[in-house]
Amino acid sequence: MRRTLYFTAPRQIEIREEPLPDPRDDEVLVETLCSAISAGTEMLVYRGDFPQLKDAHDSLSSELKYPLAYGYAAVGRVKDIGKLVDREWENRLVFAFQPHTSHFTAKPEALFSVPQSLLPEAACFLPNMETAVNLVQDGAPILGERVLVLGQGVVGMLTASLLAEFPLERLVTADRYELRRNALNVERLTLNAQRFHSLDPDAEDFRVSLSGYAQGGFDLIYELSGNPSALNDAIAATRFSGRVVIGSWYGEKRAPIDFGGAFHRSRIKLISSQVSAIAPELSARWDKSRRFGVAWDALARIKPERWITHRVPLNEAAEAYRLLDERPQETIQVLLTY
């Protein structure tokens, strides 16, 4: 039997036992070792805030309905192979975009071999690292720029870590949770302490502090907080002809955005960023395979597994989601173990 996590209603999950699947001739069977919970998109599903997410009995049609198996960051080991699969896949450590489940079948072309230099826990960060690589490419930072990253969840921290490898004049991050503000070890960054700063966006003097670090505004800002109202802070802190890359997925959350004031006069560029596609201006030279290669190399350099704050057995997953929902200030990355 295998165990699979299902979202059954807002803030309700079940672990269901199901028959262990047999791989088809062109498939392999993978036994999961660990999987990462997304504190962004996945929590929208948990809370019922994902657009068009409906109950199975709802009369409105939707691709996403409860009960729903969801998740996209599973790492495991190949335990069985179909007769048409190369035997080199036996016992291989692999990553897959799979829901939280103890076993799954997949075709080899849907799997990613985990480099020997990486631990299974590190490989769970692959989707978020690919997202971070995409965000950096979409923002295209330039030598000497002043850059601000709003939001220091896992994607924000990975993005800031990549940006720290650039010769920027200033890199500032912001997050309301002290644990996350302190998590980036400045000594590990190529930027020195004089050029790297982390702020609390809830502080009364937040905007004043930002202007002190970037007089005239920031050249490039990433909005990765998941809070649509943070766009107002981003717009207010952007200099003339600056760029704001919006990487947050807001779901059904709404907020009034201040497009009055200096927004039009400052010719600020708002850039939507989504990892599912390569930016059109890069697509002649880049494809998903090349971007994944960059992401794997970045995981080896940055070692984000040090940001795992909780490892929770699958059977106790309800507590993991409750923790992320009710006490996010205590978490960075929560991993499910099998």
- Alpha-carbon torsion 222, 184, 213, 143, what sign? negative
Q: What is the pLDDT of residues 202-215, one digit of tens each?
A: 999 999 999 999 98
Q: Where are the beta strands (DSSP E) in 37-186?
A: 54-55, 65-66, 74-81, 93-96, 103-106, 112-113, 146-150, 170-174
Q: Is it true that domain 2-114+303-337 has CATH number 3.90.180.10?
A: yes
Low-confidence ranges of the chain (pLDDT < 70): 52-63, 185-194
Q: What is the pLDDT of residues 91-103, one digit of tens each?
A: 999 999 999 999 9
Q: Which contiguous run of DSSP H or E holds residue 28?
A: strand 28-36
> What pLDDT score does 61 carry?
40
> What pLDDT score does 57 carry?
42
Give this prediction's pTM.
0.93
> What pLDDT score does 235 carry?
95
Q: What is the DSSP string of 204-223?
A: TTHHHHHHHHSTT-EEEEEE
> What pLDDT score does 259 carry?
87
At CA 302, angle to CA 298 and CA 303, rounded to 5? 110
Tokens of 112: 């990613």
> What pLDDT score does 251 carry?
73
Q: In whole angstroms, what is the distance from residue 264 CA to residue 249 CA?
A: 24
Q: Where in the chain is the domain with CATH 3.40.50.720?
A: 130-272
Q: Where in the chain is the domain with CATH 3.90.180.10?
A: 2-114+303-337
Q: In whole angstroms, what is the distance from residue 160 CA to residue 314 CA?
A: 30
Tokens of 111: 């799997």
> What pLDDT score does 195 carry?
84
**Alpha-carbon torsion, ordered 151, 305, 179, 252, to 10 deg:** 40
> The domain 130-272 belongs to what CATH superfamily?
NAD(P)-binding Rossmann-like Domain (3.40.50.720)
Tokens of 125: 């960060």
> What pLDDT score does 22 carry?
94
> What pLDDT score does 262 carry?
80
